Amino acid sequence: MESTWAQLLVGLLAVAGVFAAVVLGVLLLAWAPLRGRDPARARRWWSPLAPALRVLAETPVAVWARVRRWRLPRAVTAWLSGSLRHPARLVMLGFAAAVLVGTGLLSLPFATETGRSAGLVTALFTATSAVCVTGLVVVDTGTFFSSFGEAVILGLIQIGGFGIMTLASLLGLLVARRLRMRLQLSAQTETKAIGVGEVRRVVLGVMRISVIVEVLVAAVLAWRFADGYGYSTGRAVYLGVFHAVSAFNNAGFGLYADSLMQFVDDPLVCLPITAAVIIGGLGFPVLFELRRELRSPRTWSVHTKITVGMTVVLLAGGWLAISVVEWSNPGTLGGLGPGGKLLAGFTTAVMTRTAGFNSLNVAEFNDVTLLVHDVLMFIGGGSAGTAGGIKVTTFALLGFVILAEIRGEPSVHALGRRLPAGVQRQALTIVLLSVAAVAAATVALLALTPFRLDQVLFEVTSAFATVGLSTGITAQVGTAGHVILILLMFIGRLGPITAAVALALRERTRRYELPEERPIVG
Amino acid sequence: MESTWAQLLVGLLAVAGVFAAVVLGVLLLAWAPLRGRDPARARRWWSPLAPALRVLAETPVAVWARVRRWRLPRAVTAWLSGSLRHPARLVMLGFAAAVLVGTGLLSLPFATETGRSAGLVTALFTATSAVCVTGLVVVDTGTFFSSFGEAVILGLIQIGGFGIMTLASLLGLLVARRLRMRLQLSAQTETKAIGVGEVRRVVLGVMRISVIVEVLVAAVLAWRFADGYGYSTGRAVYLGVFHAVSAFNNAGFGLYADSLMQFVDDPLVCLPITAAVIIGGLGFPVLFELRRELRSPRTWSVHTKITVGMTVVLLAGGWLAISVVEWSNPGTLGGLGPGGKLLAGFTTAVMTRTAGFNSLNVAEFNDVTLLVHDVLMFIGGGSAGTAGGIKVTTFALLGFVILAEIRGEPSVHALGRRLPAGVQRQALTIVLLSVAAVAAATVALLALTPFRLDQVLFEVTSAFATVGLSTGITAQVGTAGHVILILLMFIGRLGPITAAVALALRERTRRYELPEERPIVG
Ligand SMILES: [K+]
Ligand SMILES: [K+]
């Protein structure tokens, strides 16, 4: 092993470089057929993102001229250019590319400490877990991977977290713009595209908040690791940066085999990490609004009000429930003092949504705590942030629908605003499809492994909501089980977002109406 | 012990008599204040049922004149008369009365074989389980209760099954009528009330179908018990009647400690019982329609099409899944021949929805089978029948909503008909509140008992969906656990129906509209 720092640098550059090359390649392949043939196609969904795409794609025209001579099968270019018309497919393609790049890099012999390749499944699992900011691991990150491998993982986490925050925010803007246009008939005055200015604002805004939070938290952690635990400055900075990036991106990867268990009663380690987790989990739209209007909650949008309110409620509820149930469990809170119990309970409550570090031993939790975890993990965090799950707004929306139904009100109101009928059905669809995915995977894993329902349900929910907590069975579910978890992480990371966007953009009017009939329910 | 037949007769008469007296008493107490004071009140919700109520209530005016002199507290009569304005509350009141009557009768010393009172919790649990046609038991029905006790249980099952089928059908008619009136402005031409003719048609129709199915199945079973198992004619008839009534009403109570396990490969016992279960579980509205239009499925209503279709799909799916998973499990299907396996798989698939007999040992089922059971039990059977659960139409409706959403269609269509927006939200509300009830009870039982998640979830789902299957933990969950199960059975039996009716009748128009705002979901 040469210099650790050199390895880290090479690793990060490798991820960034290869990923950029792959994205560029995809864009190049897809751009020309779209661009050359039909000017009308310029009006496709991606036209709002065109300014950003164009910058990336126009430059290496020469490269394209070469690629063109390869005469790729028409089906491939057709599929790729078709993908460009569906935001859902394109975002999935980007994440798949990142996972493949990561798998390739993590398969390299010098990505591991032993110098032997990690093997395809381990590399694919780790890369998916990193890009989808999940944090489930089949090998111990700190001891199995070399510094190069760790840097690759860190790079994948940053790409995954940044990508999801940026893309989800942009797609959110796109949906809002489209629906506004469809609603008002003043379509002429407003352009269909999200301007370069808006794209830049989102990208820079996400970058700024990421850098600020990660640097601050890394600094505090580095100081604490150096000062309180006697690490060398270099090592302390590295540990600080790794955990700060992992925390802000809600990734849950750590360099300690026991996650944060050795720091269970150290507020100077736990609190900065929880802060990064909560901020990252609120989502960019909320952070953007809070930055400007933190002091005037009345002016917040319904989205921000719901996200902040639900975050407070779920954190407080989780903290209380976990503390009460585990208070005297000798395997978890039992051995700690009152302060330590409160800190560990709070950290645990934060990590369920959906950061995935743990300062207590998950395998020792009471059944009830595991079930509380399942619920909190499934709900997850804020939209267009680094947290997973179905998202707090989706969950709250259904609550408002039920409330309206019980009150017998024809339209659904929340916090002084009417919620459109379309978004209600979208929330319902997302929740039920998510339940179906979790249920199907639970049945499959139950059938494939010798583990109990509570363990399997926990593992599946953790993978789907990209949480990364585990009762310890991740490494032992077999290859088929690993493939299921990989798919779950991917679907869980992208499914709810892309479903929401695809469904919202698909809203249309029906040309004919059938006669009405009412089945009996209940 | 005197003659068994005398005991049986006394038991049945006791249930019928005491229950009638209680119902009459409630009606009497509530009738006078409603009748005497304010003629405008005659327009309350119950006016459609008034013809039936009047017959019951007008007759014993003399009795009322006496009761009046007792000068009951005003609050009691006010609450009772208030209840009459809410169908949900009234139906609950009726079932609660039946449960109380049953508890009283089952607490009598001569209701048990030993001649000692069963005790309050056991009596209450058994009475609730019988009235709610659930079939969960804390003691073995056949050996613990005397013939009198068994007759009481049989009477409660018949009252519960008949009551739910009749009341749910009448309330369904009422809802349909109200909504039709509100929709069309031709309110003058149609009366708000369900006529005496309609009430009579439903009551007689339910009676007719109950008697026909129960007598036929009882005859086949009695013949088989006498001919194939050497019982005396009297005993065989008694066994036949008990199991036929229990099966048609989807109650799942049996007189054998092992339910139907000793008859696992006897089609002449299993098939008549499954037939009764399926017919009872379709629900009266479907049976009524099938009787008239069995041969022309195209003319069926959407409700009937969905119910029949889902019944076939869930039976076939359950049969296949259970057979595949359990095929070589030595504790269940493993020891049987191919024919026996198919029969036992079919019987098991039928019983999950939501009859509750078992011809295989539930405790020996694979984890996957238990989870498949949980899903099938939760979905349940047809509306306004003796089956429990959220009902197949409720479940299918959400599927149609998701399908419409994925297709981007603004209105939800099913089988050539448009489904009203109101009923969609009602279905959603019923499902999510049911999930919440099951989740809350699961957490509570997990905390209270030493049992595992798979066992507890199975028990809770079984109670909520009034199924009556158990992995064998029913008797061991402690008094607090029994109280939870009692509440679950009651809520599970009445919750979905009354919620559907209450929500549908509550639909109203909003007088003002708030500005619209769309939170980001997913
Ligand atoms: K995570
Ligand atoms: K039952």
A79 CB contacts (<8 Å, ≥6 apart)?
none
Query: Quick one: residue B250, left, alpha or beta (phi over 0 = left, psi -120 to 50 = alpha)?
Result: left
Distance (Å, whole) CA A123 – CA A106: 5
Interface contact B411-A176, CB threshold 8 A: no
B265 pLDDT tier (thresholds 50, 70, 90): confident
Pair of tokens at residue B3: 């003659």
Question: What digits encode the pLDDT tens for the residues B377-404?
Answer: 999 999 988 999 999 999 999 899 888 8
Amino acid making up residue A284 = F
Chain A: give the shortest CA distance to residue B269, in Å: 31
Q: Is B188's pLDDT higher than 50? A: no
Q: How far is B111 from chain A (nearest CA, A)?
A: 35
CB B246 within 8 A of CB B356: no
Residues 342-371 of B with CB under 8 A from A: 366-368, 370-371
Residue B162 lies in a domain: yes
Task: Name the strand (E) or helix (H) holding B417.
Answer: strand B417-419
Tokens of B168: 């749910």
Among B39-48, B227-236, B326-335, the minimum mean pLDDT is found in B39-48
Contact A240, A221 (CB under 8 A): yes
Considering the domain boundaries, does residue B516 fall inside one? no
Q: With an 8 Å Cβ cutoff, is B167 touching chain A? A: no
Host domain of residue A485 = 4-506
Nearest-Cα residue of chain B relative to residue A494: B522
Q: Which residue reads 């349940």 in tokens? A: B380
Q: How many helices (H) and strands (E) does chain A have?
A: 19, 2
Please tell me the distance between residue A225's alpha carbon and the centre of ligand 1 in angstroms: 23
Distances (CA, A) of A423 to A395, A401, A408: 12, 11, 19
Sequence-separated (6 or more) residues with CB below 8 Å from residue A352: A318, A372, A373, A376, A377, A467, A469
Is the Cβ of B216 closer than 8 Å to some Cβ of chain A?
Answer: no
| Number of compact structural domains in chain B | 1
Q: What is the pLDDT of residue B297?
A: 83
SS3 B125: helix
Burial (CB count <10 Å: 0-12, 13-18, 19+), residue B270? buried
Contact B507 A408 (CB under 8 A): yes
On whether residue A499 sits in a domain, the answer given is yes
CB contact under 8 A, A423 and B521: yes
* B140 within a domain of the structure (yes/no): yes
At A50 the pLDDT is: 58
Quick one: pLDDT band at residue B484, thresholds 50, 70, 90? Answer: very high
Write the pLDDT tens digit of every residue in B508-522. 655 566 676 767 777
For residue A93, the model assigns a pLDDT of 79
Which three-class secondary structure state does DSSP give residue A252?
Answer: coil
Give the separation between CA A81 and CA A33, rounded to whole angstroms: 7
Query: Which pairing describes strands A417-419 and A412-414: parallel, antiparallel, or unpaired?
Result: antiparallel
pLDDT confidence of residue B22: 67
Contact between chains at A419 and B517 (C-beta distance less than 8 A): yes
Ligand nearest to the CA of A136: 1
Would you give the DSSP letter of residue A351?
I
A433 touches chain B (CB under 8 A): yes
Helix, strand, or coil (residue A388): coil
Flag if A368 and B429 touch (Cβ within 8 Å).
no
Closest CA to B280 of B370, B363, B385, B193: B385
Ion ligand 2 — residues with CB < 5 Å: B 135, 250, 252, 356, 468
Q: Which residues of A touch B493 (CB under 8 A)?
A: none
Within an 8 Å CB–CB cutoff, is residue A394 touching chain B? yes
Chain B residues 319-338 within an 8 A CB cutoff of chain A: 325
A-chain residues near B378 (CB < 8 A): none
- Measured in angstroms, the CA of B434 and the nearest CA of chain A are apart by 10
Residue A67 in contact with partner chain B when CB distance is under 8 A: no
Beta bridge partners of A417: A414
| Count of CB pairs separated by less than 8 Å, A with B | 243
Q: Give chain B positions within 8 Å (CB) of A454.
A: 452-454
For chain A, say whether B448 makes contact (Cβ under 8 Å): no
Asked if A287 contacts A209 with a C-beta cutoff of 8 angstroms, the reply is yes
Do B12 and B151 touch, CB atoms closer than 8 A? Answer: yes
A-chain CB neighbours of B454 within 8 Å are: 452-454
Asked if the C-beta of B512 comes within 8 angstroms of chain A's C-beta atoms, the answer is no
Higher pLDDT, A420 or B68: A420
Distance B225 CA to ligand 1 centre (A): 61
Tell me the nearest-neighbour CA distance from B511 into chain A, angstroms: 10
The alpha helices in B132-184, defined as continuous H runs, are: 141-144, 147-183
What is the DSSP secondary-structure string of A403-457? Answer: HHHHHT-SSEEETTEEEPHHHHHHHHHHHHHHHHHHHHHHHHHHHHSS--HHHHH
Asked if residue A487 lies in contact with residue A408, where contact means CB atoms within 8 angstroms, the answer is no
pLDDT at B49: 58
DSSP for B338-391? HHHHHHHHHHHHHIIIII---SS-GGGS-HHHHHHHHHHHHH-S-TTSS--SS-
| Residue of higher predicted confidence among B185 and B427 | B427
Report yes or no: A520 at the B interface, CB cutoff 8 Å. Answer: yes
Question: Which residue, A458, A456, A433, is CA-closest to A445?
Answer: A456
What pLDDT is attached to residue B322?
Answer: 93
Q: What is the dihedral of CA B67, B72, B75, B76, to 10 degrees?
A: -50
- Among B242, B281, B275, B13, CA closest to B164: B281
Ligand 2 centroid to Cα of residue B163, in Å, is 15
Residue A439 sits at the chain B interface (C-beta within 8 Å): yes
Structural contact between residues B33 and B44, judged by C-beta atoms closer than 8 angstroms: no
Residue B442: list chain A partners with CB under 8 A. 371
Domain membership flag for residue B476 = yes
**pLDDT tens digits, one per residue of B267-305:** 999 999 999 999 999 999 899 888 888 888 888 888 999
Pick the closest to residue B349 from B459, B467, B209, B253 (CA basis): B467
Is the distance from CB of A82 to CB of A143 less than 8 angstroms?
no
Per residue in B79-132, pLDDT (tens digit) is 655 655 666 677 787 888 889 989 999 999 989 999 898 989 999 999 999 999
**Does the pLDDT value for residue B437 go beyond 90?**
yes
Identify which of B303, B366, B404 has the shortest CB distance to residue A519.
B303
Compute the distance between CA of residue A95 and CA of residue A489 in angstroms, rounded to an integer. 12
| Cα B477 to Cα B117, B146, B273, B447, distances in angstroms | 21, 25, 30, 11
Cα-to-centroid distance, B224 and ligand 2 (Å): 23
Work out the minimum CA distance from B382 to partner chain A, whole angstroms: 9
Query: What number of residues does chain B have?
Result: 522
Interface of A with B in 371-390 (CB under 8 A): 371-372, 375, 383-384, 390
Q: Across the interface, do B518 and A420 touch by the CB < 8 Å criterion?
A: yes
In a domain, A152, yes or no: yes
* Measured distance CA(A455)–CA(A370) in Å, rounded: 8
- Average pLDDT along chain A, 522 residues, taken 10 residues at a time: 69 74 63 48 53 51 51 61 65 86 91 90 94 93 91 92 87 76 53 63 88 94 92 91 94 89 91 94 91 84 91 95 92 90 94 89 91 94 91 91 83 83 84 92 93 94 94 91 94 83 68 67 72
- Mean residue pLDDT of chain B comes to 83
More confident residue, A304 or B66: A304
Instruction: Judge whether A514 lies within some domain.
Output: no
- Give Cα B155 to chain centroid, integer Å: 15
Give the relative orientation of helices A392-407 and A421-448 as an angle to the nearest 10 degrees.
Answer: 120
* CA-wise closest residue to A361 among A387, A336, A389: A336
Query: What pLDDT digit, counting tens, does each position of B117-147 carry?
Result: 898 999 999 999 999 999 999 999 989 999 8
Assigned domain for B425 exists = yes
